[in-house]
């Protein structure tokens, strides 16, 4: 019996998840919903699915699971409604920009007893997940320190940033999840500083920053540093490294090809994959397959709504640390 999955949101990320769902042989697409008719019809047409309304999805008892890929401000409401409707959830990050609201969602999901996967797709990246597996096997002994470098190729429009919740919630939410996942310990203190260096309007108009430096100290004294930037002239830079008592593991960037060019000036290779759609193409596919495997009872849920809430707690604390220029103690 196929899992009947409905998709809410036919934008960029909804398209990816819907296409991945369509190619999973255990899934039947139960409909595509979007606030705008055109993208919904286009996506439904491409995948041989039909356009439905959000209300139809929740009312349809044959729908097993809902894939929420609509805009951030709709996530919390849709999670709560889906939970109440007794359906499984795969929701893009973040749960919500407001921590209290996110915790309400967490409660609703727990009450429903259904699975809820939050879309921290990086955990499903082949390089990142292989590294994590090797940590779990003890390859580098006891973990001591984590360094994360996370840079986008370019900043989104200031208009977007104004409504984004700020760089710590919008961009670093992924890095905070990496921190929790890789070190396997919660933070005790957070210190964050940030600057607007790529475009003064990011500070003056969006009251936001584009370059950050965050330090997290875990309850066990492990140390983590995160550096992010909204702009890297050379593309999308996604690396981290973990130091342990017996060695180090590093996750490097992926490149489109393995061509090496030796010329009169330098020896060169390709830049990293352009942006997250390219870099995490496999991760998105594996993530969707994981969700299906969880619903089929073949895998254990790897990212819960609690993970989504806890990453948001760290993003909140980092925002406070930066804005109030102080070290923030968690809990």
* Closest distance of CB 249 from a second copy, Å: 5
**Minimum gap (Å) between residue 71 Cβ and a second copy:** 28
Question: What does the alpha-carbon distance between residue 140 and residue 182 come to, in Å, rounded to a whole number?
Answer: 13
Nearer to a second copy, 65 or 214 (CB): 214
Question: For the residues of 57-87, what is the DSSP string, one character each?
Answer: HHH-TT--EEEE-S-HHHHHHHHHHHHHTT-
**Measured from the CB atom, is 249 or 292 closer to a second copy?**
249
**Residue 319 to residues 81, 192, 208: CA-CA distances in angstroms?**
29, 7, 10
CB of 274 to a second copy, least distance (A): 12
Strands lying side by side in the sheet with 116-119 = 27-33, 3-8, 65-68, 88-92, 116-119
- β partners of residue 247: 244
Nearer to a second copy, 36 or 327 (CB): 327
Nearest residue (CB) to a second copy, 3 versus 54: 3
Residue showing tokens 């840079």: 151
Toward a second copy, which CB reaches closer, 60 or 139? 139
C-alpha distances in Å from residue 10, one per residue of 89, 104, 116, 276, 311: 16, 26, 20, 18, 26
Q: Which is nearer to a second copy, 71 or 207 (CB)?
A: 207
Q: How far is CA 97 from the centre of its chain?
A: 14
- Considering the complex, state which of residue 221 and residue 297 has its C-beta at the smaller distance from a second copy: 221
Q: How far is the CB of 160 from a second copy (least distance, A)?
A: 21
Between 100 and 261, name the residue whose CB sits nearer to a second copy. Answer: 261
Cβ at position 127, least distance to a second copy in Å: 4
CB of 298 to a second copy, least distance (A): 19
**DSSP label at 123?**
G
Comparing CB distances to a second copy, the nearer of 70 and 211 is: 211
8 A C-beta contact, residue 116 and residue 220: no
For the bound state, the minimum distance from the C-beta of residue 79 to a second copy, rounded and expressed in Å, comes to 32
Residue 308, CA distances (Å) to 86, 119, 175, 182, 258 in order = 20, 9, 12, 15, 36
DSSP string, 215-256: EEEETTS-EEEEEEES--TT--EEEEEEEETTEEEEEPPP-S
Distance separating alpha carbons of residues 210 and 230, to the nearest angstrom: 5
Q: Name the minimum Å distance from CB 231 to a second copy.
A: 8
Nearest-approach distance from CB 139 to a second copy, in angstroms: 7
User: Cα-atom radius of gyration of the chain, to the nearest Å?
Assistant: 20
């Amino acid at each position: 019996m196929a899992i009947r999955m409905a998709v809410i949101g036919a934008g960029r990320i909804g398209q990816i998840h819907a296409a991945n769902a369509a190619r999973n042989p255990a899934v039947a697409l139960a409909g595509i919903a979007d606030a705008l008719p055109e993208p919904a019809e286009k996506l439904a047409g491409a995948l041989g699915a039909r356009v439905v309304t959000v209300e139809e999805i929740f009312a349809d008892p044959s729908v097993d699971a809902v894939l929420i890929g609509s805009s951030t401000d709709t996530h919390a409401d849709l999670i709560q409604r889906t939970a109440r409707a007794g359906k499984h959830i795969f929701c893009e990050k973040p749960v919500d920009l407001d921590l209290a609201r996110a915790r309400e969602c967490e409660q609703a999901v727990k009450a429903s007893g259904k699975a809820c996967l939050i879309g921290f797709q990086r955990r499903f990246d082949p390089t990142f997940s292989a590294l994590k597996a090797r940590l779990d096997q003890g390859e580098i002994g006891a973990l001591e320190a984590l360094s994360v470098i996370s840079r986008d190729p370019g900043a989104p429009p200031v208009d977007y940033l104004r409504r984004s919740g700020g760089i710590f919630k919008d961009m670093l939410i992924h890095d905070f999840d990496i921190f929790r996942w890789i070190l396997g310990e919660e933070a005790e203190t957070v210190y964050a500083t940030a600057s607007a260096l790529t475009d003064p309007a990011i500070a003056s108009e969006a009251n936001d920053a584009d370059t950050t430096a965050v330090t997290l100290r875990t309850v066990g004294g492990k140390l983590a540093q995160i550096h992010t930037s909204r702009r890297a002239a050379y593309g999308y830079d996604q690396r981290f490294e973990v130091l342990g008592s017996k060695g180090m593991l590093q996750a490097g960037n992926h490149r489109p090809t393995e061509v090496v060019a030796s010329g009169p000036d330098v020896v060169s290779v390709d830049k990293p994959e352009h942006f997250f759609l390219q870099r995490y193409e496999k991760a998105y596919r594996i993530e969707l397959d994981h969700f299906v495997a969880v619903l089929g009872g073949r895998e254990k849920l790897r990212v819960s709504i609690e993970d989504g809430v806890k990453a948001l707690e760290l993003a909140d604390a980092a925002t406070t640390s930066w804005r109030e220029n102080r070290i923030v103690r968690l809990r």
